[in-house]
């Protein structure tokens, strides 16, 4: 694959056109492009695209559209770069969303690939990495959990796994949630008595741990079970997870009967408990199918301009859970366009099963199947069933998608009502779209941490939460006002720099250019504190050029005896006031304040924990994990290293003269 950038070529127009790629604006945006109102920007963008088009090859590849700041607007793949890019250069017959994208385009970049399959995979990688504003974006970037039966140790381990599959062993999944994995592993431990401890813990045991006592491990660490019998348990677990559950249960049943006949009632009871555990695993799988051994089932539903993709995971004829996703896409996009783009990003960091079932036919199904087959080194099929048990399965998943999207829309409507009541309670011109709440936490001024939580129409926006480690040297320990000033100065100074407000900009369009369409500027800032905290916050905003008209600032003083419902509110230029005891806005404010308090305390505790286990060797330049481990293994403790002479340090394995000198100077210069 090669990277090429094409510049300074004469304008031309191409008449043939491929179908446009899926393009999307930020979710919920009310701004639409008007061709008659902005013809000049479309013309400029079209001329930019024409200049690049002339020298493009008739080869597959990926193209990127960039705005004037160099930010990526859109990533698309093409079987022929020349034909696809030429379709944008016609300057007419474009939808509003595509016309707006063209109008913002100031430059383009291209990557040619050997095949269209490579282009499809690269497109998915770039979309997930760059998050372009005009692409369909998969919002949930968490990796799905798996069960791993390791194969790199004499006594294999049964553990939960996330991320890259680098460790040797058998992976089973994915599961829809960590809870489902934990529940399954607990049942598997009771059924097969396999260890779940890490290798280091295993090697240092001198007697069985508690899991052995409660019959959830067979105790291979201290040879409570012969290696060949433990290997037999591993084989049974592997067979069960691979779909041979009936055969495994039959063998255990026969062993239980044999033990009973031989009057070995304890062994028979253990077999009985294992059978009960296996039945529990199969009993909680939800719906199972007779025609689908291994498949991922995708169903998409659209309501009120929003999309929901429900995914069910089937492995070994069992349902291993489901998960709902809410991709960001333009309202004008068709369901098959959204589902196709979602599918490419979904399998960007995980292997695909042998079968993928879809509720809607996608345009590049064969190409997608070929790409996933190449990536996973196994044949992948993509189908949209129309009848039979598989169609019934699609309908079941689609019903779940409709219910999930309905719940989300209901939650959003309720949240919007709360925001409206909040705006009315604080005499704002309109309901706030972004609310930020600030709090700080410390113990006698130590490990001071500031916290910011954010809420909007979709509830708490945890991806926008921020923590602030207090850095000012002038800050006195325990100075809550000073901490609030520093936190707000840093937050809004960066905001003014990165998202400057244009004079005369309409209120509805202010700074809504964040990657997920959520406003960058808050409409309402809540301070956990009274009049003093509010004044400190006002001064901090004024120092960075944020006026009282830009952001509504409100302080929340806790009620008498810190009781909820007795809060006093402070607003610049107004006397203190209270909200009615049963006002929904009051309960909403309490939720916001409690969330900020929880987040601040959690951040403080995490920082305090890091400080407690902090190793002085971490502060020495040039001392990495390997040399630190070598020093500790040789001397035993940090105090012994601190007392050691330079000659003794040089004798430690893996420590050269320069490292020994650095360690010696570090401790002795500190006195």
Q: Confidence band (pLDDT; 50, 70, 90) for 504? A: very low
Q: How many Å apart are CA 73 and CA 77, to the nearest integer?
A: 14
Residue with tokens 């407690």: 612
Give mean pLDDT, residues 116-132.
76
Look at 72 and 126; give whichever has higher pLDDT: 72
Q: How many CB atoms lie within 10 A of CB 140?
A: 12
Residue-wise pLDDT for 2-40, tens only, equals 444 333 333 333 333 333 333 332 333 333 333 343 667
Query: Phi/psi zone of residue 143: left (φ > 0), alpha (ψ -120 to 50 degrees), beta?
Result: beta
- Between 182 and 508, the higher pLDDT residue: 182
Average pLDDT over every residue of 529-539: 86
Which is nearest to 139 in space by CA: 338, 426, 436? 338
Q: Who contacts 124 (Cβ-Cβ below 8 Å, separation ≥6)?
A: 344, 345, 347, 348
369, 396 Cβ separation under 8 angstroms? no
Mean pLDDT of 384-409: 84
Domains and CATH numbers, the chain: 2-130 (3.40.1440.10), 146-283 (no CATH), 294-406 (3.30.420.10), 426-499+518-610 (3.30.420.340), 616-669 (1.10.150.20)
Comparing CA positions, the residue from 108, 70, 115 lying closest to residue 89 is 108
pLDDT at 595 exceeding the cut of 80 = yes
Q: What is the mean pLDDT of residues 90-105?
A: 77
- Residue range 433-459: mean pLDDT, rounded: 82
What's the pLDDT at 206? 85
pLDDT per residue as tens digits for the range 282-327? 544 444 455 677 888 999 998 877 889 988 888 766 667 678 888 8
Sign of CA dihedral 288, 289, 292, 296: negative
Angle between helices 116-130 and 365-376 (to 10 degrees): 80
Burial group, residue 423, by CB count within 10 angstroms (0-12, 13-18, 19+): buried
Tokens 């062994």 belong to: 267
Confidence of residue 436 (pLDDT cuts 50, 70, 90): very high
Bond into 174 cis (ω within 30): yes
The strand pair at 466-469 and 446-456 is best described as antiparallel
Structure tokens at 211: 């899991």
Other residues' Cβ atoms within 10 Å of the Cβ of residue 68: 9
Q: Average pLDDT of the chain?
A: 77
Reply yes or no on whether the pLDDT at 507 is more than 80. no
Q: Which residue has the higher pLDDT, 279 or 59?
A: 59
Residue 444: the pLDDT is 60
**Which of 568, 548, 603 has the alpha carbon at shortest distance from 438?**
603
Lowest-confidence pick of 157-161, 391-395, 472-476: 472-476
Q: Considering Cα of 32, then 38, then 39, then 40, what sign does the dihedral take?
A: negative
Give bridge partners of residue 358 from the DSSP assignment. Answer: 298
Residue 91 pLDDT > 70, yes or no? no
What average pLDDT does this structure show over 212-225? 86
pLDDT at site 357: 92
Where is pLDDT greater, at 317 or 208?
A: 208
- What span, in angstroms and rounded, lies between the C-alpha atoms of 223 and 203? 12
- CB-CB neighbours of 560 under 10 Å: 7
Q: Count the neighbouring beta carbons within 10 Å of the beta carbon of residue 634.
A: 17
pLDDT at 178 exceeding the cut of 80: no
Helix, strand, coil percentages (3-state) for the chain, rounded to 5, are 45, 15, 40
pLDDT at 209 exceeding the cut of 80: yes
DSSP 574: S
What confidence category does residue 563 fall into, taking pLDDT thresholds of 50, 70 and 90? Answer: low
Q: Which pLDDT does position 3 carry in this prediction?
A: 42
Mean pLDDT of 376-387: 86
Q: Which of 166, 191, 311 is nearest to 241 (CA)?
A: 191
Question: Which of 26-35, 335-344, 649-658 is predicted least confidently?
Answer: 26-35
Q: Residue 243's pLDDT band (boundaries 50, 70, 90)?
A: low
| pTM score | 0.50
Q: Does the pLDDT value for residue 277 go beyond 70?
A: no
Query: What's the pLDDT score for residue 163?
Result: 75
Neighbours of 229 (CB within 10 A): 12
d(CA 9, CA 89): 14
Q: Which of 485, 518, 514, 516 is nearest to 499 (CA)?
A: 514
* Helices 178-192 and 227-241, packing angle to 10 deg: 140
Over residues 551-557, mean pLDDT: 89
Between 93-107, 211-225, 495-509, 618-632, the lowest mean confidence (pLDDT) is in 495-509
Residues near 269 by beta carbon (within 8 Å), at least 6 away in sequence: none
> What value does the mean pLDDT take over residues 370-392?
85
Return the top range by mean pLDDT from 289-298, 339-348, 661-670. Answer: 339-348
User: What is residue 44's predicted lDDT score, i.e. its pLDDT?
Assistant: 82
Percentage with pLDDT > 70 across the chain: 80
Predicted pLDDT at 158 = 85
DSSP characters over 303-328:
ETTEEEEEEEEEETTEEEEEEEE--B
How far, in Å, CA of 186 to CA of 198, rounded? 16
Structure tokens at 169: 């062993």
Contact 111, 62 (CB under 8 A): yes
Give Cα 334 distance to the centre of its chain: 26
Would you state the pLDDT for residue 299?
A: 92
Average pLDDT score over residue span 403-411: 78
Residue bearing the bigger pLDDT, 104 or 244: 104
C-alpha neighbours within 13 Å on the C-beta side of residue 65 = 30
Question: Which has more pLDDT, 552 or 441?
Answer: 552
Stronger pLDDT, 269 or 138, i.e. the higher one: 269
Q: In which residue are the tokens 């291994």 written? A: 294
**Confidence bin at 358 (pLDDT 50/70/90):** very high
Cβ proximity of 540 and 489 under 8 Å: yes
For 302, the 3-state DSSP assignment is: strand
What is the layout of strands, in order, in the sheet containing 158-161?
A: 158-161, 146-150, 169-172
């Amino acid at each position: 694959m090669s990277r090429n950038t094409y510049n300074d070529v004469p304008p031309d127009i191409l008449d043939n056109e491929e179908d446009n790629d899926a393009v999307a604006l930020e979710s919920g945006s009310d701004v639409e492009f008007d061709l008659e109102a902005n013809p000049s920007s479309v013309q400029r963008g079209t001329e930019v695209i024409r200049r690049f088009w002339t020298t493009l090859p008739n080869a597959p590849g990926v193209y990127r559209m960039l705005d004037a700041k160099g930010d990526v607007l859109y990533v698309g793949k093409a079987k022929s770069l020349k034909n696809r890019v030429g379709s944008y250069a016609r300057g007419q017959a474009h939808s509003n969303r595509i016309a707006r994208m063209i109008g913002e385009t100031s430059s383009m970049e291209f990557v040619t690939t050997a095949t269209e399959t490579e282009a499809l995979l690269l497109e998915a990688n770039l979309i997930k990495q760059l998050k372009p504003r005009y692409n369909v974006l998969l919002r949930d970037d968490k990796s799905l959990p798996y069960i791993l039966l390791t194969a790199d140790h004499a006594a294999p381990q049964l553990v939960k796994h996330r991320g890259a599959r680098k460790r040797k062993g058998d992976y089973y999944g994915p599961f829809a949630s960590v809870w489902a994995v934990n529940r399954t592993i607990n049942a598997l431990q009771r059924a097969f008595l396999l260890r779940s401890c890490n290798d280091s813990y295993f090697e240092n045991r001198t007697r069985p741990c508690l899991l052995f006592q409660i019959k959830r491990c067979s105790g291979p660490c201290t040879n409570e079970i012969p290696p060949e019998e433990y290997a037999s348990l591993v084989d049974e677990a592997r067979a069960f997870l691979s779909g041979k559950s009936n055969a495994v249960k039959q063998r255990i049943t026969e062993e239980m009967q044999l033990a009973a006949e031989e009057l070995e009632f304890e062994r028979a009871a253990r077999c009985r408990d294992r059978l009960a555990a296996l039945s529990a695993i199969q009993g909680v799988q939800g719906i199972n199918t007779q025609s689908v051994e291994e498949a991922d089932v995708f169903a998409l539903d659209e309501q009120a301009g929003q999309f929901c993709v429900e995914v069910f995971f089937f492995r070994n004829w069992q349902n291993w859970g489901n998960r709902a996703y809410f991709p960001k896409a333009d309202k004008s996009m068709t369901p098959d366009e959204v589902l196709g783009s979602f599918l490419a990003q979904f399998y960007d960091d995980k292997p695909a099963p042998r079968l993928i079932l879809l509720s809607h036919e996608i345009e590049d199904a064969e190409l997608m199947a070929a790409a996933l087959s190449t990536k996973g080194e196994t044949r992948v099929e993509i189908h949209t069933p129309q009848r039979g048990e598989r169609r019934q399965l699609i309908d079941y998943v689609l019903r779940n998608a409709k219910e999930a999207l309905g719940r989300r829309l209901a939650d959003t409507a309720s949240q919007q009502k709360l925001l409206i009541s909040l705006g009315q309670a604080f005499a704002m011109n309109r309901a706030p779209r972004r609310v930020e709440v600030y709090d700080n936490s410390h113990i006698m001024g130590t490990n001071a941490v500031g916290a910011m939580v954010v809420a909007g129409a979709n509830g708490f926006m945890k991806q926008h939460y921020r923590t602030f480690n207090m850095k000012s040297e002038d800050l006195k320990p325990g100075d809550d006002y000073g901490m609030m000033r520093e936190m707000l100065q840093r937050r809004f100074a960066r905001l003014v720099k990165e998202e400057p407000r244009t004079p005369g900009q309409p209120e509805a369009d202010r700074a809504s250019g964040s990657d997920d369409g959520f406003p960058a500027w808050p409409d309402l800032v809540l301070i956990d504190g009274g009049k003093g905290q509010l004044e400190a916050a006002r001064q901090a905003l004024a120092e960075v050029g944020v006026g009282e008209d830009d952001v509504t600032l409100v302080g929340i003083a806790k009620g008498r005896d810190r009781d909820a419902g007795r809060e006093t509110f402070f607003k610049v230029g107004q006397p203190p006031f209270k909200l009615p005891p049963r006002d929904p806005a009051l309960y909403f404010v309490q939720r916001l304040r409690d969330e900020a308090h929880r987040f601040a305390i959690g951040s403080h505790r995490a920082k305090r924990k890091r400080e407690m286990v902090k190793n002085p060797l971490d502060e020495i330049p040039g001392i990495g994990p390997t040399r630190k481990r070598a020093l500790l293994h040789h001397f035993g403790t940090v105090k012994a290293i601190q007392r050691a002479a330079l000659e003794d340090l040089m004798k430690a394995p893996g420590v050269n003269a320069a490292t020994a000198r650095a360690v010696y100077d570090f401790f002795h210069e500190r006195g």
